[in-house]
């Protein structure tokens, strides 16, 4: 059973937290915060112990060194989300629901872990649903706000729709190959038109989850409506997990139609980054802004998948790791500002550096990392992603992608401009953020500054990755 270590540990702490929640008196609910974070920290650390690889349930569940690393990456990200959300959870209106937040978040994480480790389409689908439905609840967490409720409903509808499309594709695959196991499907795959259609349905379903254009329309409203900590979780961890499993399935199950899905990705990646970038320019609300920027980032991630090589897989995982730190740092700063002052538009940030220099610098590092400016980690992530696409000779695609990073730099600079260059008659005054937020941001900044220079991280991921050829 130790093969399922990550999932089991998560289930154990979920149960512990549930029991604690039952026995806590109503006015003491906030006492669960520290134990929850500590327990999850232990789980995260335990995840890094050398694990046992193998299969369970006749191949439904597969654990490899690669999937374990992916789960560890997700654990780190979730830990930061845990720490960052404390100041929001401690607010008066959320006080009674603190443990619900943790329980729901942990269930989605369990779902993602099962999804990544799946060895057949059933397990994959189960994990996906477990990862999606609690998030809809989380999006509607601030039920006294209309927009939050709207976000929850929108999320549940779109995921139901996308799941339907996905299942349709899977059923076609089952119908033509007679199996749902990845290995069997791979062997029986003949690239008939029906199977290619099945792939298209499958890909469209996944594209909803990752928010690839043209399946991105739900994302802005949901991101804006959901509480900011849920949004950050949604944009980083959810997206990362979906990218991981999409990559695994593309590289194994659909290996025979690699040329076809490469062309599909080629086109969608160009559209995704361009549309994401162009829409991001217009946004004034920081959450919507980061939503569209995360669409553009998804477009960049596809570049690594197009590489189809060991380098490609490595760079995707590496990029997601860096993206987690960068985006969480940006959301962390936006979140603390929103919590303390209630301000969420970029214009409110005018003159922010002069009152809160450290938070502004964190935001700057995060945005530079997202834009791919050296010497922060994002530069390395982007450079290697581009290298993965260039390796196969897609120089034009790389060129379009690099031009897109320039567009993205423009709107990231708009935020930096507001914070550093603009002055305001009524800037946001100085405030002291609480220690949890500080620890969370410190972890992000450390990640942003260190990962790029520490080449062992990259080499470690490389050794686990594999290519199509």
Partner 1 sequence: MDFLTLFIVIPIITMIGIVLVRDTKQVKIVSAVGMTLQLINSAILIIMFLLQRSAGNIAEILFIKDVVWYPSLNIHYFVGVDGVSVAMLGLTSIVIFAGIFASWEVKDLTKEFFISLILLSTGVYGFFISLDLFTMFLFYEVAVIPMYLLIGIWGSGPRHYSAMKLTLMLMGGSAFILVGLLGLYFNSNPTGGPLTFDLIHISKIHIPLNIQLFFFPFLFLGFGVLGALYPFHTWSPDGHASAPTAVSMLHAGVLMKLGGYGCYRVAVFLLPDAAHQLGWIFLILTTISVIYGAFGAIWQKDLKYINAYSSVSHCGLVLFAILMFNKTAMNGAIIQMISHGIMTALFFALIGMIYGRTHTRLINEMGGLMKVMPFLAVAYVIGGLASLGLPGFSGFVAEMTIFFGAFQHPDVFHRVVTIIACSSIVVTAVYILRVVGILLMGKIRNDHFLEIRDAKWHEKLSVGVLIFGITAIGLAPLWLSDMINNGLTPIITRLLAAVQ
Tell me how far, at minimum, the Cβ of 448 lies from partner 1, in Å: 15
Q: Residue 384's closest CA among 460, 311, 331, 283?
A: 311
Distance from C-alpha of 421 to C-alpha of 307, rounded to nearest angstrom: 40
Is residue 63 within a helix (H) or strand (E), and if so which, with residue range? Answer: strand 61-63
Instruction: Check: CB of residue 444 under 8 Å from CB of residue 332.
Output: yes
Q: Which is nearer to partner 1, 383 or 431 (CB)?
A: 383
Q: Which is nearer to partner 1, 192 or 455 (CB)?
A: 455
Tokens of 373: 């400016």
Instruction: Check: CB of residue 122 under 8 Å from CB of residue 180.
Output: yes
Query: With 0-12 CB in 10 A as exposed, 13-18 as middle and 19+ as buried, what is 466?
Result: middle
Distance from C-alpha of 130 to C-alpha of 45, rounded to nearest angstrom: 24
User: Of 108-116, 169-177, 234-242, 456-464, which part binds partner 1 (CB under 8 A)?
Assistant: 456-464
Q: Is 427 left (phi over 0), alpha (psi -120 to 50) or beta?
A: beta
Distance from C-alpha of 96 to C-alpha of 28, rounded to nearest angstrom: 9
Distance from C-alpha of 255 to C-alpha of 252, rounded to nearest angstrom: 5
Tell me how far, at minimum, the Cβ of 253 lies from partner 1, in Å: 27
Tell me how far, at minimum, the Cβ of 27 lies from partner 1, in Å: 45
User: Of 101-109, 195-203, 217-225, 453-461, which part binds partner 1 (CB under 8 A)?
Assistant: 453-461
Give residues 364-423 in contact with partner 1 (rule: CB under 8 A): 368, 373-375, 379, 383-384, 386-387, 390-391, 393, 395, 398-399, 402-403, 405-406, 409-410, 413, 416-417, 420-421
Q: Which is nearer to partner 1, 261 or 411 (CB)?
A: 411
Q: Residue 124's closest CA among 114, 134, 110?
A: 114
Tell me how far, at minimum, the Cβ of 457 lies from partner 1, in Å: 10
Q: Which is nearer to partner 1, 207 or 301 (CB)?
A: 301
Who contacts 399 (Cβ-Cβ below 8 Å, separation ≥6)? none
Tell me how far, at minimum, the Cβ of 381 lies from partner 1, in Å: 13
Tell me how far, at minimum, the Cβ of 216 lies from partner 1, in Å: 24
> Does residue 430 interact with partner 1 by CB under 8 A?
no
Between the alpha carbon of residue 336 and those of residues 85, 233, 237, 358, 360, the distances in Å are 9, 15, 19, 13, 12
Q: Which is nearer to partner 1, 47 or 372 (CB)?
A: 372
Tell me how far, at minimum, the Cβ of 388 lies from partner 1, in Å: 10
Q: Which is nearer to partner 1, 196 or 387 (CB)?
A: 387
Distance from C-alpha of 261 to C-alpha of 241, rounded to nearest angstrom: 20
Tell me how far, at minimum, the Cβ of 334 lies from partner 1, in Å: 21
Select the residue interacting with partner 1 from 28, 192, 435, 455 (CB under 8 A). Answer: 455
Q: Which residues pair with 56 in a beta bridge?
A: 61
Q: Which is nearer to partner 1, 222 or 409 (CB)?
A: 409
Tokens of 172: 């076609």
Between the alpha carbon of residue 293 and those of residues 11, 219, 265, the distances in Å are 33, 11, 19
Q: Which 8-state DSSP code applies to residue 434? A: P
Tell me how far, at minimum, the Cβ of 464 lies from partner 1, in Å: 12
Q: Which is nearer to partner 1, 219 or 401 (CB)?
A: 401
The count of residues interacting with partner 1 (CB under 8 A) is 30
Tokens of 284: 């004034």
Q: Which is nearer to partner 1, 255 or 462 (CB)?
A: 462
Q: Is 402 left (phi over 0), alpha (psi -120 to 50) or beta?
A: alpha
Q: Which is nearer to partner 1, 331 or 384 (CB)?
A: 384
Tell me how far, at minimum, the Cβ of 201 lies from partner 1, in Å: 34
Summarize as ranges the residues that interact with partner 1 (CB under 8 A): 368, 373-375, 379, 383-384, 386-387, 390-391, 393, 395, 398-399, 402-403, 405-406, 409-410, 413, 416-417, 420-421, 455, 458-459, 462
């Amino acid at each position: 059973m130790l093969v399922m270590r990550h999932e089991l540990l998560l289930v154990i702490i979920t149960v512990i937290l549930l029991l604690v929640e039952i026995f806590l008196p109503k006015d003491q609910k906030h006492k669960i915060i520290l134990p929850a974070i500590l327990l999850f920290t232990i789980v995260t650390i335990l995840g890094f112990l050398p694990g046992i690889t193998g299969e369970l349930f006749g191949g439904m569940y597969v654990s490899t060194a690669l999937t374990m690393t992916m789960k560890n990456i997700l654990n780190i990200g979730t830990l930061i989300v845990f720490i960052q959300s404390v100041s929001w959870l401690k607010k008066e209106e959320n006080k009674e629901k603190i443990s619900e937040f943790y329980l729901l978040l942990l269930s989605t994480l369990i779902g993602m872990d099962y999804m990544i480790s799946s060895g057949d389409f059933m397990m994959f689908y189960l994990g996906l649903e477990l990862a999606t439905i609690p998030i809809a609840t989380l999006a509607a967490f601030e039920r006294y706000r209309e927009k939050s409720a709207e976000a929850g409903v929108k999320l549940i509808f779109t995921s139901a729709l996308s799941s339907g499309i996905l299942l349709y594709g899977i059923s076609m695959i089952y119908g033509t190959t007679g199996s749902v196991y990845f290995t069997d499907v791979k062997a029986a795959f003949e690239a008939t038109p029906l199977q290619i259609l099945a792939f298209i349905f499958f890909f469209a379903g996944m594209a909803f989850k990752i928010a690839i254009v043209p399946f991105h329309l739900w994302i802005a409203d949901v991101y804006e409506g959901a509480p900011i900590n849920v949004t950050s979780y949604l944009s980083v961890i959810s997206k990362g997990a979906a990218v991981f499993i999409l990559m695994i399935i593309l590289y194994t199950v659909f290996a025979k139609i690699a040329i076809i899905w490469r062309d599909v990705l080629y086109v969608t990646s160009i559209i995704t980054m361009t549309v994401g970038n162009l829409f991001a320019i217009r946004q004034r609300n920081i959450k919507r802004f980061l939503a569209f920027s995360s669409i553009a980032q998804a477009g960049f991630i596809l570049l690594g998948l197009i590489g189809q090589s060991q380098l490609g897989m490595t760079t995707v995982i590496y990029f997601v790791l860096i993206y987690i730190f960068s985006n969480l740092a940006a959301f962390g700063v936006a979140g603390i500002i929103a919590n303390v002052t209630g301000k969420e538009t970029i214009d409110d940030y005018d003159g922010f550096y002069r009152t809160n220099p450290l938070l502004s610098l964190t935001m700057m590092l995060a945005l530079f990392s997202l834009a791919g400016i050296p010497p922060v980690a994002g530069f390395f992530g982007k450079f290697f992603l581009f290298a993965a696409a260039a390796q196969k000779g897609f120089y034009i695609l790389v060129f379009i992608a690099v031009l897109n990073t320039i567009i993205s730099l423009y709107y990231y600079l708009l935020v930096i401009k507001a914070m550093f260059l603009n002055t305001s008659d009524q800037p946001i005054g100085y405030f002291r953020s609480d220690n949890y937020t500080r620890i969370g941001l410190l972890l992000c900044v450390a990640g942003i500054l260190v990962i790029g220079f520490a080449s062992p991280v990259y080499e470690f991921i490389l050794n686990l990755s594999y290519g199509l050829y």
